[in-house]
Structure formats: C-alpha cells, structure tokens
Structure 1
Amino acid sequence: MSGYSAAAVKFPFWFYEFKQTMEWQRDSEQWAQVKRHIIDENWFKLSSISRRQSLYSEVAGRVQSLTPAISNVFFKTDLDNQRLINLIGMMNTNRLFKAFILRTYRDELMLGDLKLEDYEIQAFFRQIQTEDDAAAKWQDETVQRLGSSFRNYLTQAGLAKLDGTTLLVTRPLLDPPLEDALVADNHQDYVAALTGR
C-alpha cells in the first residue's frame, strides 16, 4: 500500500452500521444482499445515493478485513470490545489511522501522560507529511479535518474522553479472546498499541 490517504475526513465511526453489517454476514447474507439493504433499501436512512455507496464501501471493507477468529469474537464479547473490533477494521483499511494508533495513541499509554493535546495530533500529521509525498500536499484545512475525525474515532471507540480541547486517553480492557485472536493473526502490534505494552 503506497501513500497515505486523507479519505478519513469522509467516514464517521459508523459503529451501528458496522454492527448491522456484521449481523447480516453472520446470518449468511451475501454481499449483494448487504449492498441492496444499504444502497437500494436505504436501511440507514442516508440522504443521497453517493453517501449510501460510500457507507457500503467503507463498512464492507472493514468487515471483510477481519479474520474469521475476530469476527467470531465480535458476537461473544461486550459492547466496548465490539467498538474496538470496528476500530480494528478501520486500522486494517486505513493506513493513516493505523499509523496514528500505533504511534501517537500507543505513546500516550506508554509514557503515562494520558493527555492527547491538539498540538500532538497535529505533530503526527506534520511528521507524516515529511515522510510521504501525497501527504505533503495536504492543505491545512485537510489536516484539521483529519485531526477532528481521529479525535471522534477515539472518543467513539472508548479510547479517550473529551475534556475541553484535550483528549483524556483511556486504556481499553481487551477481552482475552480478542487479544488471542489478534496475536494469532500476527497483530501483536495492535495489542501493544491498545494496551500500551
């Protein structure tokens, strides 16, 4: 995968939609049926066809990125870990967000500061811009919107709480079967990032 994408500015956390799609898959619905639910039947009540197509593409990508072991854990774990599995799907499909979790979020846990200031989020994007030609062309507005998207992802995943403009980072409690499934899938990096080890 070459280059970083700023596409995250278009995609919300979409947990409810992810969960419903996971349920359709569990019930053996084919992707053509899932696509029909989302786009033709407008199951999630979106205002435009393009938004429905965008949601389908993004959420289907997240679900399809998960291994069977992680998908199986989804239906046996609590809501907090289900949100983490959605986040894992996002990390699997969004290289920029994955880098943010593996670098910036993990550092906050490891260093024990547990406060993610806006300047730290901006520093992450500036560093990416020095590493990647495509990212170097992002306008300031794009960087601001990416920062806002990532802050929302962290709060909706339960990895942080907002205190004014500061994110108070929280350490999630990974369900042992989810941790085992991640390790079995060679994602010790995800476990390390989410636990601060």
Structure 2
Amino acid sequence: MTKELEYSATLTGASFLLYELKQVLKLKKQGLSDAEIKKKVIEENIFEYKYTSSLKRSVPSVIRRAVVLDEQLQEWVLSGPLDIGKIINLYAIMKTDRLFFEFMNEVLREKLEADNYLIEKKDLNVFFITKAEQDDKMAKWTELTINKLKQVYMKLLYEAGFLEDKKTGELSRVLIDEEIKRHLTYIGDSAYLKAMGE
C-alpha cells in the first residue's frame, strides 16, 4: 500500500505520460540503470519535448512509475493493447502518488459503487479540503497548486477512460482485462483494482 508515501503535488508537473513511460521501459529493457535512463532521456530528448525544463520535471515521475512495475506489467505496457497500457499506467500513478490513490479510492470508487456516474467540482473541493485538514504540509499548499491538481486529476481520469466528458463530469466504468486483475491480485495489489471500481 501507499501509506508510507507523503502527500505530494508532483502530479502538477507530470500527468498521464503513457508515451514517456513506454520510452523509459524500453531503455530499462536494454539494461540501463535509472540514472543512465534519466541522463539519456534528457540528453537525447527521448520524450521529444520542446523544453528541457519540461523533460527534467517529468523524467523522475516516469522513472518512479517504471520502478513499481514488475516485469509482467512492463511487458504488457510495451506490447499489449493501448487500453491495457492505460490501466497499468494509472495503477503506477496510484502506486507512486498517495494523494491520487486516495482520490481514486475515496471519490471515484465510491461513485462507481453507488452507480453515480457524475463527478462534480464539489467532489474535488470536499476531497482536497478534507485532506488539507488532515495533513499540515498539504494545508500549506497554495490555492494555485490545489487547482492545478484538480485539473490534473480530471485529466488523468479522462485519459484513462474513466471520464467521458471533462465539461459535464460524466463518468464511465472501465472494463479491466481479466489477466491484469488476476496479476494485480496475485501480487497483493487488489486495493488498486478496487480504487478503479473493480
């Protein structure tokens, strides 16, 4: 579980990044260390970014995500269908970001369990206010940071297929491949499946 992770706002600089994750996993497969991957990505602009600053901001997050994926999950991201890659990427984001995992578990999961397919501004507001009340560090975050995180969370839901329409907040249930479900359950990570509404 992600309990040992502190709340973090790093997602403001690193959203879905599935393409980037695939690039990092390819380099990992070649036997490069995390430090070598970081150097190569930045020096050769592997992500094809316009600005080096964006590269430097997103690389650590992508490497963290790659590290939490076992060989089987890495293989599925690299050679499986796009929708499988999206789900595994979302799992890696939850596994490396405690606040986002709690959002998925406490907001999205509860909505799907109640067959409530609408996520509203107030849902995000209540979630962030409650968390800030529970965590001193988070209570010091600026309104700008919180607003950016709200946008990123909605974007993540959209890119992973859980959000039909960003404007209306209409949600949809994502069907997760049986093999992924079995594998995540087998490695003891069924909590992440539950957070995705399984």
Please indicate, yes or no, whether the TM-score normalized by the shorter chain is above 0.5.
yes
What amino acid is aligned across from residue 174 of structure 1 in structure 2? Answer: I
Confirm whether residue 96 of structure 1 aligns to residue 132 of structure 2.
no
Contact kept in structure 2, 1:179 and 1:191, CA below 8 Å: yes
Aligned mates of 1:12, 1:163 — CA distance in 2: 15
Counterpart of 1:167 in structure 2 is 169
Query: Residues 45-100 of structure 1, C-alpha deviation per residue, up to 9 Å, x if partnerless?
Result: 32443322222211111000112232233345321110111111111111111111
Aligned mates of 2:143, 2:40 — CA distance in 1: 37
Aligned mates of 2:22, 2:105 — CA distance in 1: 24
TM-superposed CA distance for 1:32, in Å, is: 4.4
Counterpart of 1:137 in structure 2 is 140
* Greater Cα shift, 85-94 or 37-46: 37-46
Counterpart of 2:66 in structure 1 is 63
Counterpart of 1:86 in structure 2 is 89
Counterpart of 2:128 in structure 1 is 125
Percent pairwise identity: 27
For these two proteins, the number of residue pairs brought into alignment is 195
Counterpart of 1:183 in structure 2 is 185
Quickly say closer, same or farther: Cα 1:2–1:175, change in 2 above 3 A: closer
TM-superposed CA distance for 1:129, in Å, is: 0.8
Counterpart of 1:16 in structure 2 is 19
TM-superposed CA distance for 1:33, in Å, is: 4.2
Taking only aligned residues, the RMSD between alpha carbons, in angstroms, comes to 1.8
* Greater Cα shift, 115-124 or 47-56: 47-56
Normalised by the length of structure 2, the TM-score is 0.89
Quickly say closer, same or farther: Cα 1:28–1:3, change in 2 above 3 A: closer
TM-superposed CA distance for 1:163, in Å, is: 5.1
1:46 alignment partner, SS class: coil
Aligned mates of 1:117, 1:28 — CA distance in 2: 44
Quickly say closer, same or farther: Cα 1:12–1:68, change in 2 above 3 A: same
Confirm whether residue 45 of structure 1 aligns to residue 41 of structure 2.
no
Contact kept in structure 2, 1:100 and 1:124, CA below 8 Å: yes
Counterpart of 2:195 in structure 1 is 193
What amino acid is aligned across from residue 157 of structure 1 in structure 2? Answer: A
Query: Residues 75-126 of structure 1, C-alpha deviation per residue, up to 9 Å, x if partnerless?
Result: 4532111011111111111111111111111011101111001111111111
Any stretches of 5+ residues in structure 1 without a counterpart? none
* Greater Cα shift, 109-118 or 11-20: 11-20
Normalised by the length of structure 1, the TM-score is 0.90
Aligned mates of 1:74, 1:51 — CA distance in 2: 23
Matches within 5 A, 1:109-120: 109-120=112-123
1:161 alignment partner, SS class: strand
Equivalent position to 2:151, from 140, 148, 151: 148
